[in-house]
A and B are shown apart, each in its own frame.
Chain A
Amino acid sequence: MSDIIKTDALIVGAGPVGIFAVFELGLVDVKAHLVDILDKVGGQCAELYPEKPIYDIPGIPLVTAQGLVDGLMAQIKPFGAQFHLNEMVESLEKIGEPLFRVKTNGGKTFEAKIIIIAAGGGSFQPKRPPIPGIEHYEAKSVHYAVRKMDDFRGKKLLIAGGGDSALDWTLNLASIAGHVTLLHRRAEFRAAPDSVNKMMALVNDKKIDLVLGQASSVEGKDGQIEKVIVKKNDGTAAEIACDAVLPFFGLTMKLGPIANWGLRMNEELIPVDTEAFETDVPGIFAIGDINTYAGKLKLILSGFHEAALMSRKAAHYVYPDKKIVFQYTTSSTSLQKKLGVN
């Protein structure tokens, strides 16, 4: 069994609100670990629209989404929070008053006095291509990620998509797989030009096939795919025989395992009080886009406010006997010490 990571607070989700929670918790001496399924911090801001402008952060007339994330990361630096990226919190179990045991899909176990769910729209998961019945093959022969390239040695592969993931795996698997067909909707590719050139070279050398079109159905049995029927852009249909399909159609947000944590839910949102943004389970808080209450607005600035109020009550759980004095970062020498500016 792996070592248990003990922490005051475990923050589920490292988007802007989860990151800012580290700051507010840090001011009241609550230490935090963060878990996020993405391979980078910033949540939707970093994954969906890093270059897009945000105009409604108080005091900052214009900042890009990535710029906001970078600023937040600089802001929380003094608090030494630890990030566990590429991991999704799978289970959460109450083991004390309050104390929670949390397990991730990466095999990590945490024990945290409080939990802060800042999971936004849920966890980012690979988008399932719109092919009827494809879910029946997912366990066996349709894969949304490559864990071990050797699994595909000698196999006939159909890789679908036009972005970096699709192209990178096409290039990497071309020499390992028995045969690779790359399927894309159009002749232009989102992927890095260098990858596109390398891929076209493989096509010209007849090392791989490139098919322009969209998959319309799949055939196979018992989870083992046998062929994919493709509607080509010239209007004709084609059958591509394959042992495995690797679709790379980006990510979508799914609520994921949060629904199984025993919390009261309202559709896909978590109802909270507006005093501390606490759920119906004492010690579990929900802030940012994932929560709901009368008047809720899904704004980053609302999430920041929620993080500040949450941290007061969170501190009471972590330090039940300590009186928490309200202070300003502008004037409090003790807060400034924590921030490393005094």
Chain B
Amino acid sequence: MPKITYIEPNGPSRTVEAEVGSTVMEAALRNNIPGIEAECGGACACATCHVYVDEAWRERVGEPSPMEEDMLDFGFDVRENSRLSCQIKVTDELDGLVVSTPAKQA
């Protein structure tokens, strides 16, 4: 299974296995990764699963959809590499993906 690394704002990180076809948000929740709230449960209807995609992975992960961009307006400290983790589908190509969580969710 692809591995995903989540880095917390103050440094500690954890690497977990994520099922292909699930989302980066779901993998975080299943593994109790702190800092990802996912208030709406993955409907792209809040901005509480916001992550920063590591620069090395941005191209492979891709850009947010217009709907996701709309939701990112509600995020905290939104940057160029901001994504909602519920909208990133896990694929074999993303094995090794590194994301960071923001200092707080909205």
Considering the chains assembled together, what is the distance between the CA atoms of A121 and B74 in angstroms? 18
B92, CB-defined interface residue at 8 Å: no
| Residue A144 CB within 8 A of the other chain | no
CA distance A48 to B39 in the complex (A): 10
Question: Whole-angstrom distance from the CB of A195 to the nearest CB of chain B?
Answer: 15
Shortest distance between the CB of A19 and any CB in chain B (Å)? 20
Tell me, yes or no, whether A162 is within 8 Å of chain B by CB.
yes
Query: With a CB–CB cut-off of 8 A, which chain B residues contact A121?
Result: 39
Instruction: Collect the chain B residues with CB atoms within 8 Å of residue A169's CB.
Output: none
B104 at the interface (CB under 8 A from A): yes
**Residues 16 to 51 of chain B near chain A (Cβ within 8 Å):** 39-40, 43, 45-46
Interface contacts beyond A52-B43, A130-B76: sample of 12 additional A-B pairs, CB < 8 Å, sorted by A: A48-B40, A48-B46, A52-B45, A121-B39, A162-B73, A163-B73, A185-B73, A188-B69, A190-B70, A250-B73, A250-B74, A253-B39
Q: Does A44 contact B (CB under 8 A)?
A: yes
The 10 closest A-B pairs by CB, nearest first: A130-B76, A48-B45, A49-B43, A49-B45, A190-B70, A250-B74, A52-B43, A48-B40, A249-B74, A162-B73
CA distance A52 to B44 in the complex (A): 10
A161 at the interface (CB under 8 A from B): yes
User: How many Å from the CB of B25 to the closest CB on chain A?
Assistant: 15
* Interface presence of A214 (CB below 8 A): yes
List the interface of chain A (C-beta within 8 A of B): 44, 48-49, 52, 121, 127, 130, 161-163, 184-186, 188, 190, 214, 249-250, 252-253
Q: Contact: B39 with A249, CB < 8 Å? A: no
Quick one: which of B48-84 are within 8 Å of A by CB? Answer: 66, 69-70, 72-74, 76-78
CA distance A214 to B73 in the complex (A): 10
Residues of chain A within 8 A (CB-CB) of B46 are 48, 252
Q: Is there a chain A Cβ closer than 8 Å to B106's Cβ?
A: yes
Asked whether, in the complex, the Cβ of A130 is within 8 Å of the Cβ of B77, the reply is yes
Contact residues in A for B39 (Cβ distance below 8 Å): 121, 252-253
Min C-beta distance of B45 to chain A, whole Å: 4
Identify B66's interface contact among A162, A163, A188, A253, CB under 8 A.
A188
Chain B's closest residue to A47 (CB) is: B45
Chain A residue nearest to B77 (CB atoms) is A130
Question: Which residue in chain B gives the minimum CB-CB distance to A130?
Answer: B76
Contacts of A48 in B (CB 8 A): 40, 43, 45-46
Closest residue of B by beta carbon distance from A186: B69
Query: Do B40 and A49 have beta carbons less than 8 Å apart?
Result: yes
B45→A249 contact, CB < 8 A: no
Q: How far, in whole Å, are A249 and B43 apart by their CA atoms in the complex?
A: 18
Contact between A249 and B66, CB atoms less than 8 A apart: no
**Which of A130, A163, A190, A253 is within 8 Å of B104, CB to CB?**
A130
Least distance between A159 CB and chain B CB atoms (Å): 13
With a cutoff of 8 Å between Cβ atoms, the chain A residues found around residue B76 in the complex are 130
Give the distance in Å from the alpha carbon of A252 to the alpha carbon of B106 in the complex.
8
Closest to A233 in B: B80
Please tell me if the beta carbons of B40 and A127 are within 8 angstroms of each other in the complex: no
